[in-house]
Amino acid sequence: MKRWIVALMAVLLLVLCADAMADVAPVNMEVPPEAIATQAEGELESYGLTFPEEMPLAARNFVLLARAQFEKNDWAKLPKNNEYTKWYYQDNREIGWCSVFQLWCAYHSGMQLIRYKQGIEVPEGACISAMEGRVGNVYLAFEEQGRWLDGTQGAVPKPGYLVIYGVRGSTPYTHIAIVESVADKGDGVYELTTIEGNINSSVRRMNYRYTATPKRKYYNMSVVPEAEIVQENCQYTLQKDTWYITGFCATW
């Protein structure tokens, strides 16, 4: 009887361990894996969002999955070792996780992962994101694929792109986020709504204005005029006055 109980407990332990390891990032592979299947049209909550007609389904689902994570976390502060970092690094290290958050969303929405200096051939029209924990390496990976758009040289963003922020007088690669929506306000001004991991240790939804050709090169972000604030559940203040948009990663 005792042997039967021990054997049953061993089987249960294996099942539990297998289930716990079912959702881990394939970071141990030398070459990023093939993309998984994206969710079917209409499978994810739409949150009333509309997308450009030509935007691929995987890119749409990338945005919707990121928005779902924002809604799920509901502005809560997360530890530096959270479900996103544990998924990617497969350990309990405490680390900045803005890039890991976008990667979690990209992988689970079926985007093809790339890495810098790995010579990966990306099929034409593929939706991609960089399998990199460092923001600077995300930039380099997209630049290598010819999909980097300089935010200080008139780049035009699209929903589903990544946006990289810099700090005036310091690093140009300090933080990364996902563009949820873009509204063309005319004269090279765009209103962006973004989903951002690791803003004040939380997942946040931001809304601000980006000027593609500002009068001063590194001053291309501004707040939305109070009279024009219409969205709910957004942060309308700029995270840092010294931040600017370095550029956009064209995921599609």
pLDDT tens series, the chain, 252 aa: 455 444 444 433 333 333 333 455 555 545 687 889 999 999 999 999 999 999 999 999 999 999 999 999 999 999 999 999 999 888 999 999 999 999 999 999 999 999 999 887 888 889 999 999 999 999 999 999 999 999 999 999 999 999 999 999 999 999 999 999 999 999 999 999 999 999 999 999 999 999 999 999 999 999 999 999 999 999 999 999 999 999 999 999
Residue 154 falls inside a structural domain:
yes
CA 15, 28, 145, 199 torsion-angle sign:
positive
Query: Into how many domains does the chain fold?
Result: 1
Whether the model clears a pTM of 0.75, i.e. scores above it, the answer is yes
Burial of residue 134 (CB within 10 Å: 0-12, 13-18, 19+) is: middle
Residue 175 domain-assigned?
yes
> Could you tell me if residue 42 is inside a domain?
no
**Spatial distance between the Cα atoms of 56 and 133, rounded to a whole number of angstroms:** 25
What range defines the domain where residue 107 resides? Answer: 55-249
Does residue 10 belong to any structural domain of this protein? no
Q: What angle do CA 163, 167, 173 make, to 5 degrees?
A: 50
CA distances from 161 to 13, 93, 142, 148, 165 (A): 42, 28, 11, 10, 13
Evaluate whether residue 105 is within a structural domain: yes
Instruction: Give the span between the Cα atoms of 28 and 13, in whole angstroms.
Output: 24
Q: Rounded CA gap, 235 and 192, in Å?
A: 12
| Residue 198 to residue 98: CA distance in whole angstroms | 5
Residue 68 lies inside a defined structural domain of this protein: yes
Domain annotation covers residue 30: no
**Helix 98-108 / helix 57-73 crossing angle, nearest 10 deg:** 130
CA–CA separation, 77 and 121 (whole Å): 38
Q: Collapse the DSSP code of 26 into the 3-class scheme (helix H, G, I; strand E, B; otherwise coil) and give the result.
A: coil
The answer to the question of residue 43 being in a domain is no
